[in-house]
Structure 1
């Protein structure tokens, strides 16, 4: 069950779609800020010097050892990665490396570093500093190899120089070499589809080697699972760490005057832990300037009051899972196609999802290279569904067990019961009788789906970890699973082939072919991409929503 959960949701974040610079009109409440209109250019600096953002519990501020989204939201402002996701998107773009490339074998990545970059402690960024970080992660001691500490490294690179457990795989990382002060070369043991996108993960942000040494970053403090460095990170980002008041549950950052890029607009940035149920009122009362994961039912009302509700580009896929092992009828392609034709997916998106949701044509979002608009679309056609059922020998009807969860919401699954009811009504109209079985999310529902012995149909979702199509396809269909109960050796071989190609340009046409193949085979039916959202104060502008929750708070300002 634990493996199932790790596979399904991004370890540190979830989330979502087109992000544009926000320049919306608004009037202020308690803070008496002047209004800004869509035609007003944002000022170069902010009229206020402190931004307070509410969030969940903070775990640790060493990004290499922090798999949770809330802690990494903070470290993203303090530390930077060699490669970063493009603003508002997921495609890899230059970060601390102004250029990056892979050799013909797909196993050696070369990064040319930006000149003039310094860490917050005054030391210079160079290739040796980059390699010190990669070597540190590769050589982490047994005490720091637990899966909930180094989840990102294990997901991307596998194991370590000396694995503390037999369950850890051989490492994909081979070496890091400083060819000269400005050129770092990272060698892998094999080509992989993970790169360059996985280099954008905040867990692979570059820390000051001096700070790592001085704070004994590889030695947990007595009585703690973590080293001291997790309390005081030092990076190259637009904000530098100031303090972490654990009693008050807040972290304060300050604009770094020596930043190599565009300076932060707001001088002080505070991340404050606030319980989810209290954040909306705190925003209305002027105690905070924004918060994340806005409840779908609150979005419209907040927007109508003048607050800026930023919908992220959706970076997930809800699907209707089909278990071919549990019911012989579902092993017939005509039956699976009938199910797909029976569903009015556009109505599902319109009635069960908040604004910004999109119908899913592929198993990954459109913003990733390899998305194929030419796949079998299965437009809503109940008459076609009935024809296919008759051709498969089920003209007199078919009865299926449909499991769905309760007491859970996800961006891709905002209201499981409503989604089930809409789908069940469509299926019944096409001649497929549905026995709905509602279960507690954990452990009952997760066990049912992961074991694949009791269900015919089920609702589930996948969220990407980084901007690569294989991260979606591989999570779902790289090997036989009890969830879907199907074996397709040729499909598995093609997925293994694309995963072994190091050049992203060469992978793209293969992804397009795989998307077409998956929609022909239909181990599941992709339904929707569901967005989440964050909300900002009425006169707080300039923040671009990111599908990877990679928002850059340095661009935000009060006007």
Structure 2
């Protein structure tokens, strides 16, 4: 996911959005595959980075959500292996015609890890907690998703904080929660599926209130309860029992009172192994039974050795970000066009991405409704790039180029290698490149978000299937990481966000894609199908284009 912004995923206003009955995300494998293994053997999975918090409400990164998704559940979830919304803790849901009132009919008999029962009052207590956040909690480092989906707070403490769209939550009865918003949005109902809005035990909420986040800007300290196991409590098939930060390892234990199908293994361990080669070697040695973000060059080798390497569907974008107000030359359209023409993106796809990767023509993959076939494209043409730089008087352009270290992402399997290729392309047309390597979390994410780079590499894996989930992430309003004002674009984004008719909204997304690629605030590079690997002795989970694998589906053969 990128540092992300969420948005919507279905029809929502004039048409009632009725949820499907939840399946509990259980594996549908045959019994002869599922039942013969040793469920007491731990399943160990190699992740590319540490989680930031055990409380998903405070996070915006995929490595945190990979862990918390096993222990916490939201009102709505996604179907295993797909992007369709299905029931989560809510068996069904619907909206009023205006798209401003969302009614959730909860499953009966759902128990939290600490023994508390799920009720509508508990759901409302969670949403009201987020709405009433104050102090450090209003910093986007902690409340990014809340501010993106529901706006600001009961009492905003900064002029930069958006107006709140959340109005309130009412428990109509024990199992019926009604959430009201001021304006309809393409963020709903998809936003209700986000891990950031997973539901916590009422006992845990009371304990959370006793510890506060602190700090400002780049010096945020997360509350103590979120940094060690023992306090957080959800409803998921696993409960978090230990976080050994020194060894980069989170341990989760099967929750036998889970309301759905119980997990196929007793213990799940998610171990941080930042280097891809080290993850592969750990799998080959039998130290782990699975890992994510397999290097494209390793796929054939692993498959030849009998490992399972399923490939997810494409649902992401890698792009070169440009902070226009960080360098006056970057505010010139000709300079941004020169950057686009200088980049051999086909070479990146062919040498750095798994089979199925494609050059991106716009800021969403073609698997999302709203993709346009009529955008302006920028072919690899170094001579054209040099001419554009000359026309703009920028022949001696020098740029700080930020790229992340100690990380691989679904859209960016080898950041340093991709950076080196692009650096060579830019230098070939006369641009001087100053490398700025930064550790991914928190240095890189915060520096890029605060507009601290001239150009940088970032991307996005969608949260749910709506065009606003991509376009709204970047272009709904002024953002420091882009450093531009474009009121025509912002107004069109606002129109699309509140458009109740799905067909009309999709047409607006197409118009926005065309406008964006004419304006060229950054350069879309590629979309790729990230691979994930498992040992031969496990029944793996259904792989998800959203990278939302449910490890309760795992069992040993």
TM bucket (normalised to shorter chain) is 0.7 to 0.9
Report if the CA contact (8 A) 2:316-2:462 is conserved. Answer: no
Larger radius of gyration: 1
Report if the CA contact (8 A) 1:139-1:162 is conserved. Answer: yes
Instruction: Say if 2:429 is the partner of 1:439.
Output: no
1:18 aligned residue: none
1:537 aligned residue: 535
Report if the CA contact (8 A) 2:4-2:61 is conserved. Answer: no
**What secondary structure sits across from 2:70 in the alignment?**
helix
1:95-106 equivalences under 5 Å are 95-106=88-99
1:19 aligned residue: none
Greater CA drift, 241-250 or 110-119: 241-250
1:224-235 equivalences under 5 Å are 225-227=223-225, 231-235=230-234
1:323-338 equivalences under 5 Å are 326-327=328-329, 330-331=332-333
Deviations 1:435-482 (A, max 9, x none): 241421359999899769x96xx5533314622422432343334568
2:358 aligned residue: 358
1:265 aligned residue: 264
Taking a change above 3 Å as real, the CA distance of residues 379 and 91 of structure 1, as seen in their structure-2 partners, is farther
CA distance in structure 2 between the aligned counterparts of 1:521 and 1:58, rounded to whole angstroms: 36
Instruction: Say if 2:213 is the partner of 1:219.
Output: no
Taking a change above 3 Å as real, the CA distance of residues 92 and 459 of structure 1, as seen in their structure-2 partners, is same
Report if the CA contact (8 A) 1:105-1:191 is conserved. Answer: yes
CA distance in structure 2 between the aligned counterparts of 1:114 and 1:558, rounded to whole angstroms: 30
Report if the CA contact (8 A) 1:126-1:182 is conserved. Answer: yes
How many Å apart are 1:557 and its aligned residue?
A: 1.9
1:44 aligned residue: 34
How many Å apart are 1:175 and its aligned residue?
A: 0.4
2:239 aligned residue: 240
1:23 aligned residue: none
Report if the CA contact (8 A) 2:265-2:552 is conserved. Answer: yes
How many Å apart are 1:329 and its aligned residue?
A: 11
Deviations 1:137-186 (A, max 9, x none): 22345465554444432343343334455654443221001123332111
CA distance in structure 1 between the aligned counterparts of 2:484 and 2:298, rounded to whole angstroms: 41
How many Å apart are 1:90 and its aligned residue?
A: 3.9
**What secondary structure sits across from 2:224 in the alignment?**
coil
CA distance in structure 2 between the aligned counterparts of 1:75 and 1:483, rounded to whole angstroms: 28
Deviations 1:473-496 (A, max 9, x none): 234333456876765432221112
Residue 505 (structure 2) aligned to one of 487, 495, 507:
507
Taking a change above 3 Å as real, the CA distance of residues 524 and 167 of structure 1, as seen in their structure-2 partners, is closer
How many Å apart are 1:344 and its aligned residue?
A: 5.8
1:416 aligned residue: 418
CA distance in structure 1 between the aligned counterparts of 2:448 and 2:194, rounded to whole angstroms: 32
Instruction: Say if 2:85 is the partner of 1:92.
Output: yes
Taking a change above 3 Å as real, the CA distance of residues 340 and 44 of structure 1, as seen in their structure-2 partners, is same
Instruction: Say if 2:198 is the partner of 1:205.
Output: yes
Q: When the two structures are superposed, what TM-score results if normalisation uses the length of structure 1?
A: 0.75
CA distance in structure 2 between the aligned counterparts of 1:486 and 1:48, rounded to whole angstroms: 57
1:9 aligned residue: 3
Report if the CA contact (8 A) 1:221-1:227 is conserved. Answer: no
CA distance in structure 2 between the aligned counterparts of 1:328 and 1:64, rounded to whole angstroms: 36
2:458 aligned residue: 461
CA distance in structure 2 between the aligned counterparts of 1:87 and 1:422, rounded to whole angstroms: 41
2:131 aligned residue: 138
Taking a change above 3 Å as real, the CA distance of residues 166 and 515 of structure 1, as seen in their structure-2 partners, is closer
Aligned residues: 510
Report if the CA contact (8 A) 2:2-2:62 is conserved. Answer: no
**What secondary structure sits across from 2:365 in the alignment?**
coil
Report if the CA contact (8 A) 1:349-1:528 is conserved. Answer: yes
1:308 aligned residue: 308
**What secondary structure sits across from 1:77 in the alignment?**
coil
1:112-261 equivalences under 5 Å are 112-140=105-133, 142=135, 144-163=137-156, 168-213=161-206, 216-220=207-211, 225-227=223-225, 231-244=230-243, 250-261=249-260
How many Å apart are 1:84 and its aligned residue?
A: 1.4
Report if the CA contact (8 A) 1:359-1:529 is conserved. Answer: yes
Deviations 1:332-390 (A, max 9, x none): 6xx97787678664444113423342221320123333223x2236385869x96x999
CA RMSD of aligned residues (A): 4.4
Taking a change above 3 Å as real, the CA distance of residues 148 and 189 of structure 1, as seen in their structure-2 partners, is same
How many Å apart are 1:80 and its aligned residue?
A: 0.7
Report if the CA contact (8 A) 2:110-2:117 is conserved. Answer: yes
CA distance in structure 2 between the aligned counterparts of 1:118 and 1:262, rounded to whole angstroms: 13
1:36 aligned residue: none
How many Å apart are 1:52 and its aligned residue?
A: 1.8
**What secondary structure sits across from 1:53 in the alignment?**
strand
Instruction: Say if 2:531 is the partner of 1:552.
Output: no
Deviations 1:175-200 (A, max 9, x none): 00112333211111322232222222
Unaligned runs of 5+ residues in structure 2 are: 7-28, 214-220
Greater CA drift, 39-48 or 170-179: 39-48
CA distance in structure 1 between the aligned counterparts of 2:508 and 2:89, rounded to whole angstroms: 30
Taking a change above 3 Å as real, the CA distance of residues 226 and 162 of structure 1, as seen in their structure-2 partners, is farther
Residue 54 (structure 1) aligned to one of 30, 46, 51:
46
**What secondary structure sits across from 2:73 in the alignment?**
coil
Report if the CA contact (8 A) 2:341-2:378 is conserved. Answer: yes
CA distance in structure 2 between the aligned counterparts of 1:177 and 1:87, rounded to whole angstroms: 30
CA distance in structure 2 between the aligned counterparts of 1:237 and 1:499, rounded to whole angstroms: 32
CA distance in structure 1 between the aligned counterparts of 2:451 and 2:205, rounded to whole angstroms: 44
Taking a change above 3 Å as real, the CA distance of residues 472 and 309 of structure 1, as seen in their structure-2 partners, is same
CA distance in structure 2 between the aligned counterparts of 1:148 and 1:227, rounded to whole angstroms: 17
Unaligned runs of 5+ residues in structure 1 are: 1-6, 13-38
Report if the CA contact (8 A) 2:337-2:378 is conserved. Answer: no
Deviations 1:44-92 (A, max 9, x none): 3250213122344355422223445434322211221111133334453
How many Å apart are 1:204 and its aligned residue?
A: 0.9
